[in-house]
Amino acid sequence: MADSPQHHRAHKKARLGLQLWDGLGTALVNLLVVFLVIVYLFPISYMVFTAFKMDSQFSDIKAPIWPARIVTYTYTGEDYPLYEVPTAGSIKKWALVERHRTESTFVNPANPETGPITWEGSWRTLDPVYEFYPAFENFAYLWATINYPRLVWNTVKVTMLSGIGVMISSILVAYGFSRFRIPGGNLLFILLIATVLIPEKITLIPTYYMFTRILNWNGTYYPLIVPHLFGNAILIFLLRQNFKSIPREMEEAAMIDGAGPLRILTSVILPQSGPVITTAALLHFFYAWNELRQASLYLGISPDLYTLAFRVQQYQSYFAPPNMLQVSALFAMAIPVLVLFLTQREFMHEVLITGLEK
């Protein structure tokens, strides 16, 4: 029996209503996501805008939020600022030549031959004429002030040496916990993870005394590098969980072919663990690059060994203007952001695997 025309129209109307509601719901969700992204990125945008501002813009209450400067006009060999001056017909952009309380003298840049123009009123009520102007000289000044290339090289040395050491030791320890039967291995692993709960403030004084009075490492990179040569509990946990997920059949096949534990690690385990190794290396890189406490304790007497984070923090403590504070922050975060951008595929791959399969 065929559907009646009324039933067909009602079904079509209901389907259109569902499509409209689905489209409206999708649009509202997208609008909410865009709003949240704008709110999340606002501090970063403000930091970038502030870094490109001139010092004079911070004392100007009428200045726009973006980097800008007041437009000037050269008259009789001197530069004068332009203001929006209301006249009988419209608003003119004139250069303020003489300032007085009740009247001021302007010059029309479009027709300077007419000479000075007297305008009655307070010039303080007028709005200046601004133009977009990013102050790149802020970056050039800070580049020369803090010796950015040397600081980056110092930080790269500390990060790379400590990173190589912590990755080798963490991989070996994680491999042992995941593949070998160690007497009391579970207890040892729990004790290892429990070290994460120990606040750094508790070990700060003993380690400082040992590094400075016993080992005489004050003013060197050793306190920033040597502790990482013994592994990191968080990285060991992350690597161990990944190694345990690798099928043992692959390891047994390698053993049948005569491979030993070290050969199995390098030829079977590590090739299957690229994302987790990249993630662990990135976690240590971000930590070492931004490390400040240890650098301030042991490198304060050696200015030639300053790391970037320590030097930027030192510079910011000298009451620098807001624009230079933001420039220094951009200098400090530029390379980590670039590294994360280049390795984001491997990093996000490990995050998804860790969250969905393990």
pLDDT of residue 95: 92
Residue type, 271: P
pLDDT of residue 356: 41
Q: Are strands 78-86 and 127-128 parallel, antiparallel or unpaired?
A: antiparallel
Q: Based on the number of CB atoms within 10 Å of its own CB, is 60 exposed (0-12), middle (13-18) or buried (19 or more)?
A: middle
Q: CA-based diameter of the chain, in Å?
A: 99
* pTM listed for this prediction: 0.74
Tell me the sheet residues that pair with 107: 95
Q: What is the DSSP letter of 4?
A: P
Phi, psi of 102 (to 5 degrees): -105, -20
∠ Cα 292 298 302 (to 5°): 105
Phi, psi of 317 (to 5 degrees): -80, -5
CA-based end-to-end distance of the chain? 55
CA atoms within 13 A on the CB side of 66: 5
Q: Dihedral of CA 212/217/219/221: which sign?
A: negative
Structure tokens at 53: 């501002």
Per-residue pLDDT of 78-126, as tens digits, reads 899 999 999 877 888 999 999 888 899 999 998 888 888 898 888 888 9
Structure tokens at 81: 């600022």
Tell me the sheet residues that pair with 130: 70
pLDDT of residue 358: 42
Q: Dihedral of CA 250/256/261/265: which sign?
A: negative
C-beta separation of 104 from 96 below 8 A: yes
Per-residue pLDDT of 242-263, as tens digits, reads 898 888 888 888 888 788 888 8
| pLDDT-flagged residues of the chain (< 70) | 1-19, 21-22, 319, 346-358
Structure tokens at 332: 């400090």
Residue in 117, 114, 116, 112 with CA at minimum distance from that of residue 88 = 117
Q: Are strands 103-107 and 78-86 parallel, antiparallel or unpaired?
A: unpaired
Structure tokens at 308: 């970037």
